[in-house]
Amino acid sequence: MRFDDDWMSRADDRILEHLTDAGPDTPKEMAESDRVRFSRQHINARCKILVTYGLLVHLGNGVYDITREGNQYLGGELDVRDLKAE
């Protein structure tokens, strides 16, 4: 079971799942995938928020990747209510 928090949106799980399966990617490519069905702008905004909570890392040039913590959240091993935005 995943332990999310009020700051999370429906897109967050799809973004994290996509990056787990596809590897590092851009919001544009995520928006064009079948898995993340949100606009590029919304995905970009959500990625920035996920970075502040340590679930994603920005690799540069608009490319994001999932972190160890992001994988732990997907596996139900991390309660994001314990995370603080940086």
Residue 52 inside a domain? The answer is: yes
Residue 85 inside a domain? The answer is: no
pLDDT means per 10 residues, the chain with 86 residues, are 92 97 97 94 98 98 98 96 92
Q: How far apart are CA 68 and CA 35, in angstroms?
A: 21
Residue 86 inside a domain? The answer is: no
Residue 82 inside a domain? The answer is: no
Where residue 53 falls (left for φ over 0; alpha for ψ -120 to 50; beta otherwise) is: alpha
Residue 14 inside a domain? The answer is: yes
Residue 4 inside a domain? The answer is: no
Number of domains in the chain: 1
pTM of the model: 0.95
Residue 62 inside a domain? The answer is: yes
| CATH number, domain containing residue 38 | 1.10.10.10
